[in-house]
Amino acid sequence: MTNLCIGIASGLMRVGAYGGATHRNYGALGDRTNLAARLMMAASRSLAELPEGQRAMIFCNDSIYGTVQDLVEFEPAPPIRVKGKSEPIAIYRPLHKRVQDMILERAQLIDSLSPVDQLILKVASVIGEEFRLDTLSAIYPQEHTHEQLQSHLQSLIDSGLISRSSHATSEYAFTDIQTREAAYNLMLFAQRRQLHRGMAELLEQTSSGIPPYAEIAYHWKSADEFPRAMQYLEKAGEQAHKMGDFEAATRFFNESLGLNGGS
């Protein structure tokens, strides 16, 4: 079983493409990115302390701990010193081993599937926890028929990775959030951007009534199309303001301003 070492830190950072005309990369830059890398290194050093049979270690910083401590049980880990910081950094380890192991197990199970089944799961993970057959078909990047997709979806149901929605036969859902996260994280950034672009364009073309501005913005942002994401974030902010949800409006406008600084 592959070892899994994760460092998680939240805060302000720049995420996107960078580089020159001949070579571009995608990544995150900033103080919190460096801290997450340090936490991952600390997790790697602590992996040997785990009981036999466990192969996952996750460390997070105090902001993550403060946000989810009511939902997840933590234990404090020895503070670490980080270059450029005068004081040691407090770190915490989530104790839900079952969740950590489940993500790793799901990733290994997905890796063992046929290429078509893997691709279907990856495309579905971009759509959401629940997805419709027609939406999957619309952004699926290879030639196919509905019947072929349905056959593979049934195979994934038999594997316990997805289930059929009770609302309609053409609606499906991931059996758990860990499966969706594992499928999404197995994709290359270029593949993610392509699929998010497809979802954004599909929502633009098929939405009736008031478009889901925030959802469209999310997909354009994930496709690294920041100007388009900003347009929809501003529309989402205006819509939220009209409805009296000023907190959401402020969040959308601030996110748009943040993209403007990073575009």
* 157: CATH: 1.10.10.10
- Stretch 123-150: mean pLDDT, rounded? 94
Co-location of 138 and 163 in the same domain: yes
What confidence score (pLDDT) does residue 83 get? 75
Q: Can you list the alpha helix ranges (DSSP code H) found in 30-188?
A: 31-46, 62-68, 97-111, 115-127, 133-139, 146-158, 177-185
Domain that holds residue 145: 104-185
Q: Which residue has the higher pLDDT, 176 or 23?
A: 176
Band the pLDDT of 218: cuts 50, 70, 90: very high
CA-CA distances (angstroms) from residue 180 to 31, 39, 124, 130?
A: 29, 24, 8, 10
Q: Is the same domain home to 18 and 91?
A: yes
User: Does residue 262 surpass a pLDDT of 70?
Assistant: no
d(CA 188, CA 192): 6
Prediction pTM value: 0.65
Same domain, 84 and 163: no
Q: What is the pLDDT of residue 94?
A: 84
On the question of pLDDT at 184 being above 60, the answer is yes
- For residue 29, what pLDDT is reported? 76
CB 154 within 8 A of CB 170: no
The total number of structural domains that make up the chain: 3
pLDDT at 201 over 90: yes
Q: Is the model's pLDDT at 41 over the cut of 80?
A: yes
Judge if 67 and 43 occupy the same domain: yes
pLDDT at 1 (0 to 100)? 45
Q: What pLDDT was estimated at residue 224? A: 92
Q: Residue 49: its pLDDT value, please?
A: 60
pLDDT at 19 over 70: no
Answer with the one of 36, 71, 95 that is the final residue of a domain: 95
